[in-house]
Structure 1
Amino acid sequence: MSATASLDGVSKTYGRTTVVRPITVDVRPGIVGLLGPNGAGKTTFLRLLSTALPPTTGRITIAGFDVTASHANRVAARRRLGYCPQEVTFPRGLTAFEFVDYIAVLKEWRDTGARHREVRRVLDLVGLADRPAMKVSTLSGGQRRRLAVAQALLGAPELLILDEPTTGLDPEQRASLRGLLSGLAGTVLIATHQTEDVSALCDRVLVIDAGVIHFDGTVPELLATAAGRVHLGPAASRGAVQTWKTGTGLVRSVGGQPAPDSSVVDPSVEDAYLLLRSAERTTQGVV
């Protein structure tokens, strides 16, 4: 399956600070989850891929267009992608419909009738069809987040890039968004701290830290790295990465030497992520 987007030796440096180290990776159709701690380079990675930032080195290709080669190629690529950043600034005084319509105009939807039909379509997709006339300022935080996702869905993009799309959503809204994303064609790249979203949605996982991709594989492959290393018992495992007392009164331990009478339990994506992060910190000499 051909890649929707490719990064070849792509890095980003601000002065003497390197935020993303040279990365070479293909992003193919399906849903890809991007995990990493705060400051890992996730948002910069997404901004590079969305063409919002130029790379310091390397080449980025989106839908067959080398966006680092020319302005014309960047424009052509932008017509084929949708981007929802982590923080969205809404123009003052606009209604939900007017905001998405404004973005559609920027995306060169010149036919008013077709544009308005598309605006209504994406508002319906995110569950805001009954609120087109509401001022954005009166919407709840979760509704504004869904509105931000709606503008990224305009034109059914080949590449959809979402930075923390479920932030501020309640469990029902999060489940609804998962249903929407799982039914989309094309390629979806999601940066998130919600590991349950990754396990529920993603065909592939990238784990990034300090601007470097440390894991690239499927969810089962990520879980396999933690097999046999998560325990449930009356006491914490010695040397565990993390432990906590569960609602059953037993202690769940991620990594370490299991305490007596502990049993092995199936790992979650969060468990595997914590163990991977611990290994990275050990390799980097961080205590």
Structure 2
Amino acid sequence: MSVQIAVLDGVAKSYGGTEALHPTDLVFGPGVIGLLGPNGAGKSTMLRLLATAMPPTAGRIVVGGHLATGGIADRTAARRRLSYLPQEVGIPRRMTSFGFLDYIAVLKEWKDREARHREVLRVLGLVNLEESRTKRVSALSGGQRRRLALAQALMGDPDLVILDEPTTGLDPEQRASLRGILSLYATRGSVLLSTHQTEDVSALCDRVIILDAGRIRFDGTVPELVGLAEGQVWVGAESNTGALSSWRTGNGEVRSLGGAPAAGSRRADPAVEDAYLLVRSDAKIGEAR
């Protein structure tokens, strides 16, 4: 990888006797990286470590060439190169949309008032909230508040954008708009996107990482991931015997993942979700052993 925007070198995190993230080595370059995994897999822990919201138990993190696990000066320099959207964001409800972003811009050291206000208006436009700039946060819908939170993460064009479940609360049109914003941004920076939406991964991500029980189970491109399920997805009148997962689709056929094909079944093209379920199943078998 020619451009290294962020590096995790032997990074681990423990809470008491629980190892939330086992020693992990990762390098992030330009593009959109999808982070998949079940609840409790360690996804939010990894994001918070990268965002310098908490220190690792072991290892080192570098962002934009600065040691994020170093002293105050190094951490501050790293923080200037990244942005973070946590899963839950508390926004003062009496503030206007413009006022909130202006406040965040001040915290991000935008001292020139004219330049700061131009940037606030720019990111409001990116998330289609320019017409709501004078509305109080209390008057915004849940989706609008989520887009406002996303706007602060895009402020200043950081090298690394860290997003934890950014599409939560967004309708299909808003999610499509977000994909356009992030795909354009990722031509020059790195976007790390934690999500439960496999369709977002297949539509947007250059790379996907599957995390389960604090360990990386897969790291590669979306086609490489989907290829793991090649030949293991079937559709027919009945479910496969011993199928890992099966359900009746809208056209009345049963789609099965794995197992012995039922009579008359035919193979179907796999999707990201199919491969994800297979990787998770293999991980569970490995843990049991």
Question: What TM-score do you get using the length of structure 2 for normalisation?
Answer: 0.97
Which string of whole-angstrom CA distances, capped at 9 and with x for unpartnered residues, describes residues 43-101 of structure 1?
Answer: 01000011111111000000001111211111111111111110001124111111111
Pair 1:226 & 2:229 matched: yes
Of 274, 277, 282, the residue aligned with 1:271 is 274
User: Could you tell me which of 237, 255, 258 is aligned with 1:255?
Assistant: 258
SS in 1 for 2:14: strand
CA distance in 2, matches of 1:270, 1:153: 28
Consecutive unaligned residues of structure 2, counting only runs of 5 or more, are none
Alignment partner of 1:238 is 2:241? yes
Q: Amino acid of the residue matched to residue 56 of structure 1?
A: T
Amino acid at match of 1:97: F
1:177 paired residue number: 178
Aligned residue in 2 for 1:77 = 78
Provide the aligned C-alpha RMSD in A: 0.9
In the aligned structure 2, how far is the partner of 1:138 from the partner of 1:92?
8
- Where 2:217 maps in the other structure, the secondary structure is strand
User: Could you list the runs of 5+ residues in structure 1 that have no partner in the other structure?
Assistant: none
Superposition map of 1:51-62 within 5 A: 51-62=52-63
Shift of 1:248: 1.0
Count of aligned positions = 286
Percent of pairs with identical residues: 61
Is 1:203 the counterpart of 2:206 in the alignment? yes
SS in 2 for 1:23: strand
Equivalences for 1:12-161 in 2 at 5 Å?
Answer: 12-161=13-162
SS at 2:19 equivalent = strand
Q: What is the CA–CA distance in structure 2 between the aligned matches of 1:101 and 1:249, rounded to whole Å?
A: 53
Distance in 2 (alpha carbons) for counterparts of 1:3 and 1:233: 46
**Cα distance between partner residues in 2 of 1:93 and 1:18:** 40
Q: Residues 246-265 of structure 1, C-alpha deviation per residue, up to 9 Å, x if partnerless? A: 11111000111111111111
Matching residue's letter, 1:225: L
> Following TM superposition, by how much is the alpha carbon of 1:2 offset from its aligned partner in structure 2, in angstroms?
2.0
State how far apart, in whole Å, the 2-side matches of 1:210 and 1:38 are.
Answer: 9
Alignment partners' CA distance in 1, 2:82 and 2:192: 11
- Matches of 1:270 and 1:101, distance apart in 2: 40
Runs of at least 4 residues of structure 1 off by over 4 A? Answer: none
In structure 1, what is the Cα distance between the partners aligned to 2:211 and 2:145?
Answer: 28
Alpha-carbon separation, structure 1, partners of 2:65 and 2:230: 39
Query: Could you tell me which amino acid in structure 2 is paired with residue 52 of structure 1?
Result: A
Task: Return the TM-score normalized by structure 1.
Answer: 0.98
Read off the aligned partner of 1:59 and give its amino acid letter. Answer: R
The one-letter amino acid of 1:236's match is S
Instruction: Name the aligned partner's letter for residue 225 of structure 2.
Output: L
Contact 2:68/2:79 (8 A) holds in 1: no
Whole-Å separation in 2 of the counterparts to 1:44 and 1:102: 27
Cα distance in structure 2, aligned partners of 1:261 and 1:101: 62
